[in-house]
A and B are shown apart, each in its own frame.
Chain A
Amino acid sequence: MKIELDYLTRIEGHAHLVIDREAGKITSCQLQIVETPRFFEAMLQGRHYSDVATIVARVCGVCSISHTLASLMTTEAALGIEVPVQAQLLRCLLSYGEIVQSHLLQLYFMALPDYFNTPSLFHLLDEKQELVARALRLKRTANRICEVVGGRPIHPVTTCIGGFSARPEAAELKKLRQELVAGLPDLEATVELFASFEYPQFCRQRETLSVAPDDRYPLHNQQIQSSCGTNYPATIYREEIEEYISPQSTAKLARNQHGSYMVGPQARLRHGQDKLSAMAKRVCSALDLNPNGLNPFENLKARLVEVVHFTEEALHTIDELLLCGMTQIRGKDTPSAGGCSTAAVEAPRGLLFHSYQFDAKGFLKAADCVIPTAQNLAAVEADLQQLLPELLKLPESQIKQRLEMLIRAYDPCLSCSTHLLKIDLN
């Protein structure tokens, strides 16, 4: 029997899922990424270091800030350029804004319709006006963080080598602070809503990988931590992580010595649970979420915990910035004669590496980007393989729905990799 589900929707990017079964048994299960390859690493070759971040941001609209920051940090490390503390704070604030907006988009626009059995959030406009309005308000505030700090929500314009080329007005930051505080009741309502859903049960042992927590929750630290106990500097990622090509996928996949691993909200939460803000810890219990939990469907809960955590962090960071002033937002752009380096950042979907090599004149010779979704693909596939047999007794429509929900729970963002999920059930 063959079931075809064209265009898996409500995910970022294009993918198909092909499953073959014979006499009630699964013979193969492959997640095919069909996103068009865009060859960024090659297009960066020969570009001046001052242009690299602007170009590479276009890998992905949803995580353009993460790509921008990873790129700037890599270039700065390679060319010995210092970034003042105030600029680092602004960069954190920018990251919080991106993670919160991306998580809210996933939770409300992509995942929530599954739990209401509706094709899109906008179909709830008549019935649940307040819910839709709340989703938009929350997302608006998160985007405002990116706008105030980055100049616009997508593809920031104020970020540059050494820090920032423009600073937000103190008055703007104060206003933003008010907006964030005004949004707290909306966050409470969101927690209540997501606590009321019934999440499918599923558990598979897995390794998780993230930036290691320093004195804060994992974000921009240059040390990588695995749930298996290893801890290593981002610069040696190539010794630890192997990228490989599969004949089904235009995205490169990744594995380490133990095989597949998971990155993203659940990985960060597992490693950084002690660093959660007080409010986020309470949300964790309100959602009945085990921070060491292994049910990928509960990635949604982990995302919501992070929304709360990063909102609180944003408030603190704004206070810090207002207190210390923003007089030093840009370090001296005096590059060394060439060099190479790697930097890691936590993008909304997980660990992101950029690695560059520059010639003596500051032109890029080689680039490598390892993106979160590519690292998660093998783990998604392993989940699907284990989950499928458990689902086979269900009617076909439900099997498909469950599988789509699982894939969406990872919030795959395939624009990065190289788009539409199509499920083929043979």
Chain B
Amino acid sequence: MKTKIGFFDFAGCEGCQLTVMNLEEQLLQVLQLVEIVEFRELHSGSAEQIDIAFVEGSICRPGDRERLLEIRRRSDILIALGSCADNGGVNALGSDRTPEVLRQEVYGADLPHLYTETPHALSKLVKVDYRIPGCPIDGQEFLAILQALLLKQQPELPGFAVCVECKLAEYPCSFDYGQVCMGPITRAGCRAICIDGGTHCRGCRGLIDNPRTSPYHRILEEHGLTVEEILEQYRTFNVNERPA
């Protein structure tokens, strides 16, 4: 029997699900092995039991909690899809203000249906088995993780920093261009795509496990920066992350 997979979304931009849809021919090949039983954007219908649930987005509203718990109950494996689900992502940029203040600022009103809570990563509320970082996720990494699971292997994320991928591809270092780059402390897996695009890493894939002891930490030191400083000053995708 085919493995049943489902896609679910909470507060996010649907860019991670769209990245999956953008796999096109590769997605067709995947469909030989798995059955998509739920994917609201593409498909009407729902399923009672799901082998692997991919969940995008952050949890912000009271109803979200119940829905997430209900998805967890139906799923053997639950995977956080993208940085919104993994660590709060860009949604967490507003966590320096209370939801009341945000509502006033954007809507100029405080109506009950606009009620939200500070955005949470999925792992705050349920057990998350695996995660696929990035804003958006990398399509090939998604396939690699799904493949590992189908082969009953443990999916693994790279333990090294974006810097490694950048050096391997021989891109010019962003710091040499006077830019501040989060590559030294950010988890690899995106092939340093932003640096290839002529800009710097903004850390969308989250922190590596040991940012202060990794070999590339010295790049930060050379430029007189600490991990805390860089996180504080350049926060975009890592509001909720603090190095261990």
Q: Which of A10, A12, A59, A151 contacts B193 (CB 8 A)?
A: A151
Contact B113 A247 (CB under 8 A): yes
Q: Which of B14, B41, B60, B111 contacts A245 (CB 8 A)?
A: B111
Contact B116 A36 (CB under 8 A): yes
Contact B43 A120 (CB under 8 A): yes
Contact B105 A42 (CB under 8 A): yes
CB proximity of B218 to chain A, nearest CB, Å: 26
Q: Which of B44, B57, B60, B105 contacts A41 (CB 8 A)?
A: B105
Q: Within 8 Å of chain B (Cβ to Cβ): is A250?
A: yes
Which A residues touch B22, using CB under 8 A?
139, 143, 153-154
Q: Within 8 Å of chain A (Cβ to Cβ): is B93?
A: yes
Contact B236 A51 (CB under 8 A): yes
Which B residues touch A166, using CB under 8 A?
196-198
Which A residues touch B57, using CB under 8 A?
36
Report the Cα distance A34→B112, complex, angstroms: 12
Q: Which of A110-124 contact B (CB under 8 A)?
A: 110, 113, 119-122
Contact B21 A105 (CB under 8 A): yes
Q: Within 8 Å of chain A (Cβ to Cβ): is B72?
A: no
CB proximity of A57 to chain B, nearest CB, Å: 8
Contact A41 B106 (CB under 8 A): yes
Q: Within 8 Å of chain B (Cβ to Cβ): is A7?
A: yes
Mostly, the A contact residues are loop
Contact A36 B197 (CB under 8 A): no
* Residue of A13, A36, A160 with highest tally of chain B CB at under 10 A: A36
Which B residues touch A216, using CB under 8 A?
none
Q: Which of A152-183 contact B (CB under 8 A)?
A: 152-158, 160, 164-166
CB proximity of A59 to chain B, nearest CB, Å: 6
Report the Cα distance A59→B42, complex, angstroms: 20
Report the Cα distance A360→B200, complex, angstroms: 25
Report the Cα distance A132→B25, complex, angstroms: 10
Q: Which of A51, A109, A119, A245 contacts B107 (CB 8 A)?
A: A245
Binds B, one of A60-68, A201-209, A260-268: A60-68
Contact A165 B13 (CB under 8 A): no
What residue of chain A has the Cβ atom nearest to residue B59's Cβ?
A36
What residue of chain B has the Cβ atom nearest to residue A151's Cβ?
B197
Which B residues touch A245, using CB under 8 A?
107-109, 111
Contact B10 A36 (CB under 8 A): yes
What residue of chain A has the Cβ atom nearest to residue B239's Cβ?
A43
CB proximity of A188 to chain B, nearest CB, Å: 20
Contact B109 A58 (CB under 8 A): no
Q: Which of B84-119 contact A (CB under 8 A)?
A: 89-91, 93-94, 97, 101-103, 105-109, 111, 113-114, 116
What residue of chain A has the Cβ atom nearest to residue B13's Cβ?
A61
CB proximity of A165 to chain B, nearest CB, Å: 3
Contact B113 A248 (CB under 8 A): yes
* Residue of B17, B40, B45 with highest tally of chain A CB at under 10 A: B40
Q: Which of A42, A140, A143, A152 contacts B102 (CB 8 A)?
A: A42
Q: Within 8 Å of chain A (Cβ to Cβ): is B12?
A: yes
Contact A119 B44 (CB under 8 A): yes
Contact B107 A252 (CB under 8 A): yes
Which B residues touch A140, using CB under 8 A?
24-25
Which A residues touch B44, using CB under 8 A?
7, 9-10, 113, 119-120
Which A residues touch B197, using CB under 8 A?
151, 156-158, 165-166
Q: Which of A16-40 contact B (CB under 8 A)?
A: 34, 36-40
Report the Cα distance A160→B179, complex, angstroms: 14
Question: Contacts A38-B11, A42-B106, A58-B13; is A9 near B93 (CB within 8 Å)?
Answer: no
Can you give 30 contacting A-B residue pairs, CB < 8 Å? Answer: A10-B43, A12-B41, A13-B14, A34-B113, A36-B11, A36-B61, A38-B11, A42-B106, A45-B105, A55-B90, A58-B89, A60-B15, A61-B12, A61-B16, A61-B19, A62-B15, A109-B41, A136-B28, A139-B24, A140-B24, A143-B24, A151-B194, A153-B19, A157-B194, A158-B197, A164-B198, A247-B111, A248-B113, A415-B12, A420-B40
Please list the 3 inter-chain residue pairs (A to B) with the smallest Cβ-Cβ separation, ordered nearest first. Answer: A61-B15, A165-B198, A157-B197
